[in-house]
Chain A
Amino acid sequence: MGIRIIAEKCTGCGACVHACPVEAIRMVEGKAVIDYDLCILCGACVEVCPVDAIEFEQPSKNVAHAEAKGGVWVFCEAVGDKINDVSFELIGEGRKLADGRGVGLTGVLIGQNISGHAETLIQHGADCVRVIDNEGCRYFYDEVYARILADLIEREKPEIVLAGATLMGRAFFPRVAAKLRTGLTADCTALAIDNDGHLVQTRPAFGGNIMANILCPSRRPQMATVRPRVMRPMARDSARKGEIIREDLSADLLVSRVVVEESVEEEGGAGNVAIADIIVSGGGGLGRPENFKLIYELADVLEAAVGGTRTVVDRGWISYPHQVGQTGKTVCPKLYIAVGISGAIQHLVGMQTAETVLAINKDPNATIFRVADYGFVGDLFEIVPKLTEEFKKLKNG
């Protein structure tokens, strides 16, 4: 088992050499050769070989589907007595997966004073909600939550378990996976069921520069944490009915060696460019520092963070934490609006994985348009205010 190059098929094109992230392949006399001391068996080379000259043998995909009869589960995160929006997003996605597999969808709710949310989860698409409402779960304790969930999973045997890739989800879900000795994929941006009924988990890697499809074919459950604000919740259906099960817990499940002494709320780091969903960015085309006002106004309406190119940061028009680009931050927002930015490659490398890019520049040949989905050529001093107006209307209307 492993990876090998079929020398007879290899044409020496070198595509695999470029694709290998650890430089484990080199050309020897016109044929690709893998250095197995370096190879990390990621399979990137297999993907790019134009003549299928690379064989990647993986363990067979046999699996005891039959044993995992518990359906699709979603861990519904509660903080204090409030439920996190990601739970609804996951129920929405979980619904699709459950329907695809022809099984039921169960939400798992752990916390204190959170039972009231069970109804809402069912109205958003769950068939069943298992509630663990206990004083011992008032604070998030990694060990406790992990123990409880692992215990439930071992008993009920779901085939898929999802959680939000939040601070909580990413902290304790791996503990569950390790206890169950099963596979976990982090921070997925897409989920699907393949022809064999396996969960295909899609996630970014390498800083968002590549995407990977991950499978967990031979173990159950298949576990995944899912990036918040990517999946869509279903519309609420107040007539929808389902089962609510209150789980009793034995005391030993609630033991935590870690103690929360205090929980402190702080003012949000609003406008942090690195994690913002929407960014409005200004470049040298603004001309003068005062003109950043246009950017702030648009950002305000869109509830966006404000970014800037190296040029404007160097000139002091905006501070360094807002810089987007090779020597600033790399961002991956849902929407990036580039105003008066030419698109120097050092800037592009910091934002070109954004989902949607809108660019405004007076030069129709500006490189930024090569990576933009929408673009306006013209005077930004006219276009940006109009854009701000339109978005204001849409949001209020």
Chain B
Amino acid sequence: MSLSFDVIFVGAGPASLSGALHLKRLTRVIPELKDLSVAVIEKAPNPGDQSFSGATFDPRALEELIPDYLDRMPPFGQKVQREGLSFLTKKHRFPLPFTPPVMSNKGKYLISLSEFVRWLGKIAESEGVEVYHGEAVDELMYDDSGAVNGIIIKGKGLDKDGNKKPNYVEPTPVNAKVVVLGEGSRGHLTKRLIAEKNLDEGVTPQGYAVGLKELWEVREDRFQEGTIYNTMGYPLQLDTFGGSFIYHVKDRLVSIGLVIGLDYCNPQLHPFECLQMLKKHPFVANMLEGGRFIAYGAKTIVEGGWYAMPRAYGDGFLIIGESGGILDAMKLKGIDHVMKSGMLAAETIRDALVAKDVSAAQLKAYEDKIRSSWISRDLKRARNFHQGFHKGIIPGMVHAGFQMFTFGRGLIDRFKVKPDYECMKMMCKSCPSPCGPFRPDGMLTFDKLTCVFGSGTKHEEDQPCHIKIDDISICNGKCKEEYGNPCTRFCPANVFEMIEEEDGVERLHLNPSNCLHCKTCDIKDPYGIVTWVPPEGGGGPNYKGL
């Protein structure tokens, strides 16, 4: 039996769910499309398990998609009532007197993305979208002309050495007229498709940041519902783009997170330890005192912005959301944008199906719609934001200042940018991170393994390692010397470890079952030899309330 749907969305995040729901609604009223089969395929075992963000949420796309959303009890916290931007040193905090309007989140909802996705997924399913969980998509399928015409679902039941176990299930091909990639930041299918079809011709190399976050339940007297803080400075050095966010969401739950641009150059930077040290800052420590650690998570965020967006359409496919480079780096927001991109994809697909034409020429309309929507207005305004910081915080603030008054043009419009993995300096030219040496106290700060445990991540143990390293001798030789094996530091999940073996030599050892599916390794390894592919479907983090 050949399996097929009319349209497949890969990844059940806000972009795909919005797109799929919108598509079902649009086509319901068209006689020849009223029973359109729309599937969303997600590797997490349950809805929302692997959705993760800060987050502040602008409901403008949701208002378009589900005008009566407030009647449907969305899992939102309060609206942001107070916000503060400040600069931290090790012991002190210097608040800025105001938050620049273009970075302001006042009036936006504080939400948990995993809860939001759970809620949105239920609505989508109730309207006929088929959402499948626990299945990873391994590859795209192409017809003879090179058009995308389906996906291949990853098989299950190979052992560590790649042999079939007794309960082995074959990879499953599933056809579709249109495949929409909504894999989130650094989607693995998107990465390959971009390379195969040269979708990034003429655009700036894509850039990313890594975001790590803990969820705490704080004491009643430390909880400031509806308040958000953003900080720069400590624990990051002046040459590193990034900062923290602290959101007081609801029910005494506070998200504390750190975002670090992956164009950082210090190989000794240890993002996880920086997050732990952030908590020791008196301002944060006071907030968390007497509180309860609940959970931890990490993901990468696409930051390249407007100039790094790849071509997002082709014969038989569209790329939406963060996979397509959509995120407002200045506001550190993107849920509303990615939802809108999904909806615009839905409109494009409806027109294509009516015209019975899913070629690139027809699907190009998606890009036109993006460019004439508020997505592009916001992204254009932020188009040079992150890049302005590539020489450090101070120049970055100067650039940002000028960008604010020139709708994003600033002093330099379109910086020359290197891919993140080329930005790392060698060990000999770097200095220790201001965070070290770090010793967790078990009350306020924890070791990485404890936090990994708090992410709920689990995988089938006996399966091939899903993180591919082209040449491990580089890790054990050249990289040790040149960069000091930075993977052991930039991975937020302790997947990479240098372990002294019996002959006294340290070698790289992988713990793939700790993986949080963030893809930092795929982005940042200085030799470009690490490739992340999804493990067997059903594995990965278990984010509740994150």
Q: Judge: A and B partners, yes or no.
A: yes
Number of A-B contacts (CB under 8 A): 23
The listed residue (A14, A289, A327, A345) touching B449 by CB distance below 8 A is A345
Interface residues in A27-81 by Cβ distance below 8 A to B read: 27
Q: Which residues from chain A contact B286 at a C-beta distance below 8 Å?
A: none
- Let me know if B449 and A314 touch, CB within 8 A: no
Determine whether A344 belongs to the interface, using a CB cutoff of 8 Å to chain B. Answer: yes
Determine whether A346 belongs to the interface, using a CB cutoff of 8 Å to chain B. Answer: yes
- Let me know if B251 and A344 touch, CB within 8 A: no
Determine whether A367 belongs to the interface, using a CB cutoff of 8 Å to chain B. Answer: yes
- Let me know if A344 and B450 touch, CB within 8 A: yes
Q: Which residues from chain A contact B251 at a C-beta distance below 8 Å?
A: 14, 27
Interface residues in A185-237 by Cβ distance below 8 A to B read: none
Q: Mark B449-471, 1 if CB is under 8 A from A, else 0.
A: 11001000010010000000000
- Let me know if B453 and A345 touch, CB within 8 A: yes
The listed residue (B450, B458, B509) touching A314 by CB distance below 8 A is B509
Q: Mark B482-518, 1 if CB is under 8 A from A, else 0.
A: 0000000000000000010010000001010100000
Given contacts A14-B251, A27-B251, contact A327 B453 (CB under 8 A): no
The listed residue (A27, A327, A344) touching B461 by CB distance below 8 A is A327
Interface residues in B118-158 by Cβ distance below 8 A to A read: none
Closest A residue to B446 by CB, please name it. Answer: A345
Complex CA gap A326/B461 in Å reads 11
With both chains docked as a complex, state the minimum distance between the C-beta of A189 and any C-beta of chain B, in angstroms: 28
Determine whether A288 belongs to the interface, using a CB cutoff of 8 Å to chain B. Answer: yes
Complex CA gap A87/B252 in Å reads 53
Q: Which residues from chain B contact A289 at a C-beta distance below 8 Å?
A: 502
Closest A residue to B510 by CB, please name it. Answer: A314
Q: Which residues from chain A contact B442 at a C-beta distance below 8 Å?
A: 367
Complex CA gap A202/B171 in Å reads 48
Closest A residue to B501 by CB, please name it. Answer: A315
Complex CA gap A150/B453 in Å reads 49
With both chains docked as a complex, state the minimum distance between the C-beta of B505 and any C-beta of chain A, in angstroms: 14
Interface residues in B247-261 by Cβ distance below 8 A to A read: 251-252
Q: Mark B231-274, 1 if CB is under 8 A from A, else 0.
A: 00000000000000000000110000000000000000000000
Interface residues in A313-367 by Cβ distance below 8 A to B read: 314-315, 326-327, 344-346, 349, 367
Q: Which residues from chain A contact B509 at a C-beta distance below 8 Å?
A: 314
Q: Which residues from chain B contact A314 at a C-beta distance below 8 Å?
A: 509, 511
- Let me know if A326 and B502 touch, CB within 8 A: no
With both chains docked as a complex, state the minimum distance between the C-beta of B117 and any C-beta of chain A, in angstroms: 17
Closest A residue to B447 by CB, please name it. Answer: A344
Q: Which residues from chain B contact A27 at a C-beta distance below 8 Å?
A: 251
Given contacts A14-B251, A27-B251, contact A327 B513 (CB under 8 A): yes
With both chains docked as a complex, state the minimum distance between the C-beta of A32 and any C-beta of chain B, in angstroms: 11
- Let me know if B513 and A288 touch, CB within 8 A: no
Q: Which residues from chain B contact A327 at a C-beta distance below 8 Å?
A: 458, 461, 513
Complex CA gap A250/B275 in Å reads 76
Q: Which residues from chain B contact A367 at a C-beta distance below 8 Å?
A: 442
- Let me know if B513 and A344 touch, CB within 8 A: no
Q: Which residues from chain A contact B450 at a C-beta distance below 8 Å?
A: 344-345
With both chains docked as a complex, state the minimum distance between the C-beta of B375 and any C-beta of chain A, in angstroms: 34
Interface residues in A296-321 by Cβ distance below 8 A to B read: 314-315
Measuring CB to CB, which residues of chain A are less than 8 angstroms from any residue of chain B? 14, 27, 288-289, 314-315, 326-327, 344-346, 349, 367
Listed from nearest, the 8 A-B pairs whose CB atoms lie closest are: A345-B453, A345-B450, A344-B449, A327-B461, A346-B453, A27-B251, A14-B251, A346-B449
A-B contact pairs, 23 of them (CB 8 A): A14-B251, A14-B252, A27-B251, A288-B502, A289-B502, A314-B509, A314-B511, A315-B499, A326-B453, A326-B458, A327-B458, A327-B461, A327-B513, A344-B447, A344-B449, A344-B450, A345-B449, A345-B450, A345-B453, A346-B449, A346-B453, A349-B453, A367-B442
Given contacts A327-B461, A345-B453, A346-B449, 19 further A-B contacts (CB under 8 A): A14-B251, A14-B252, A288-B502, A289-B502, A314-B509, A314-B511, A315-B499, A326-B453, A326-B458, A327-B458, A327-B513, A344-B447, A344-B449, A344-B450, A345-B449, A345-B450, A346-B453, A349-B453, A367-B442
